[in-house]
Structure 1
C-alpha cells in the first residue's frame, strides 16, 4: 500500500542510482527472474532492491502476483524519468572531458537499414576532414529502434523513416526515395516485358516488417494493395538487405527503393514490376533530441549535416 512520499530534499540525498537502474531493467525484463539474469544478480537481491526503492519513494511501483507483472501508474511514470536519467548518465564522460582547441568526442548515429544518400556521405566526409580527432559509429537498426535510441539519449542522431512525430524530438528531412516492386531470377515474371497489374494479382510477396497501414511504409502497403498481391506475406525483415535477398531468391514479389537497387536491375538480379508510374515516395529524416547535452563532436556533426541539407534543394535530395 502506498505511503506518504518522502520530501524531495530527502530523495536527493538518499536515492541510489543503482536502485533506479535495477528498476529500469526490471521494467524492461518483465520479471524478477529476467532482470536477475540481465544484471547477473540473485533474484532475492533484485526483489530487495525493488522494495528499498518503493520504501524510499513511498509508492508501489510494480504490481506482482502469480502470473501477473505490471507497472503501476507511479511505476510507469518513474520508468520514463529513469530512462531519461540513464541516458544522461551514459553521456557524463563526454560532459567532463578535457576541453581542447581541437574538436574531439564520439558521435553515435543510429541508421535505418541501407540508407543510400550521397549528401549524407558527403557530410560524413566533410565532418571527418574538419575534425579528424573525432570518432563516429554507425549502428544499423530498425527505424523504431533508432528513434528510441535518440529519445533515450543513447544515440546522437537517427537517420530513419518517421510515421508519427514525437514533439520532444527535432526532425529534418534528409532525402526522398521512391519504392517499386521487383522479382528475382527464379520468379515466373522475371524478364517479361509488357506486364500489367493484373499479372501480379494473387502472387506471394515478401516485404518489410513496417509494411503495414499503421506504420512508416503505409504508402508501400497501399501499392501492394493496388497490385492485389496475395494477402499472405511469405517473408519479412526489418533489414533491406534481407528483403532483397528473399526477392532475389524468388520467394515472392517485394518492394525496394528504386535508386538503391538500380545496379541490381542492370546486373540482372532484379526485375522491375508495375506500377511503374505510381511509385510511392518515402521520406528519410535526421532526428535528434534537443534535450540531450551534446559534446563538441556531436554539435559539429549535426551542424555540418544541417547546413548541407539547408543548402541543397529537396529536388537534389530526391532519388528516383
Structure 2
C-alpha cells in the first residue's frame, strides 16, 4: 500500500517545492562546460551554484550532472530534465507577450531565428506584405547557426526559424521554403582566380574555408562530399556559421569555399569571386521553415507564419528553386 502512494506523493511534493530559479540555473549549467562558466553567466559564486544544483538533485531524487576533473556531462536524468526545463523556460518568457495581447490584440512582436545564408525573394516579399498589413507589429531577426535556430524554436524563444535541417525533431513542424545549389569559389589573391579550363583535379591540395555545418554528419553533407571528391576534405583553414564571414575569407584568398550560386552571382559579375569546378550537378540544399506547434503565438506571429505558409503552398517548387 505504501509503495502505491509513493509516486503520487513524490510528484505532489515536487510540484510544491520545485523552485523555478533552480530550474533556470540548471538550464544555464546544462548549456555550459563547467560550473565555473555557468556561475559567471548567472553572476553567482561557484559554491552558491553548486549548492543550488545539490538542492535541485535532492528535489528530483536523481543525480543530474556527472562532474570530475576534466569531465562535465549531463546524466540521462539530467538530459530529460533539461529538455523539460527549456520548454518551461520558453513558456515563462512568453507570458509578458500573452499579457500584452490581452490589452492590445493588434500589435505584437515576432522573433525569427534565421540562418545567415537565407537569400530568398519569396521570404522578403512575405515580410514586406506583413509589414504593410500590420505596421504596428514589431520584428526582430536573430542570425544563428541552423542548429541554434532549431533549438530556439524548440525552446519557444523564437516564433519560427528559417534554416537548414539535418535531423528532424518530431515535436516540431517543417515546411520547405526553397532549394538552393552550392558551388565552390575563390577570391582574387588565389592562384586559381580567373583560371579557365580548370578540372576537379586542379583543386587537389588547395586549402578550403567553409561553414561550420559543412561536415559529413551535418546539414551541409552534400557540400562536404563535393570538397572531399576534390581531395580538399581535411584542409579547412577557416570556418564560420555566417555566410558573410565565409564570403569574406573566400575573397581574402584564405581558401576555396562554398556559397549558394544565386548568392555568389553578383560577386562573380563584379570580379570579386571566381567559380571553380565542379560546374555540373551542383549539390542541392533545402532551406525550411520550422515552428513549434505547441507554442502559443500572438496575433502578429500567427499572421506572419500563416502568410508565409500560404505563400509557400501557392508557389510552385520550380519558382522556389534558385540556381
Show the counterpart of 1:244: 247
Gaps of 5+ in 2: 1-5
SS in structure 1 opposite 2:97? helix
Show the counterpart of 1:206: 209
1:296 corresponds to 2:309:
no
Deviation at 1:51, TM superposition (A): 2.8
- Worse-superposed segment, 38-47 or 304-313: 38-47
- Worse-superposed segment, 224-233 or 66-75: 66-75
Contact 1:161 1:216 survives alignment (8 Å):
yes
- Worse-superposed segment, 258-267 or 68-77: 68-77
SS in structure 2 opposite 1:99? helix
Q: Kindly tell me: are residues 43 and 251 of structure 1, through their superposed partners in 2, closer, same or farther at Cα, counting changes over 3 Å?
A: closer
Show the counterpart of 2:115: 112
1:186 corresponds to 2:189:
yes
Deviation at 1:292, TM superposition (A): 1.1
Show the counterpart of 1:153: 156
SS in structure 2 opposite 1:11? helix
Q: Kindly tell me: are residues 81 and 264 of structure 1, through their superposed partners in 2, closer, same or farther at Cα, counting changes over 3 Å?
A: same
Show the counterpart of 2:3: none
1:58 and 1:99 map into 2 onto residues whose CA distance is 39
CA RMSD of aligned residues (A): 2.0
Deviation at 1:62, TM superposition (A): 3.0
TM-score calculated relative to the size of structure 2: 0.92
1:309 and 1:317 map into 2 onto residues whose CA distance is 8
1:197 corresponds to 2:200:
yes
Count of residues in correspondence between the two structures: 318
TM-score calculated relative to the size of structure 1: 0.93
Show the counterpart of 1:143: 146
SS in structure 1 opposite 2:286? strand
Deviation at 1:71, TM superposition (A): 3.0
Write the deviation string for residues 263-293 of structure 1: whole angstroms up to 9, x where unpaired: 1011000111122121111111000111111
Contact 1:62 1:70 survives alignment (8 Å):
yes
Task: Identify the structure with the greater helix proportion.
Answer: 2
1:52 corresponds to 2:55:
yes
2:140 and 2:104 map into 1 onto residues whose CA distance is 23
Show the counterpart of 2:32: 29
1:43 and 1:5 map into 2 onto residues whose CA distance is 34
SS in structure 2 opposite 1:29? coil
SS in structure 2 opposite 1:79? helix
Deviation at 1:237, TM superposition (A): 1.5
Write the deviation string for residues 70-106 of structure 1: whole angstroms up to 9, x where unpaired: 3333222212111111111111112222436752111
Gaps of 5+ in 1: none
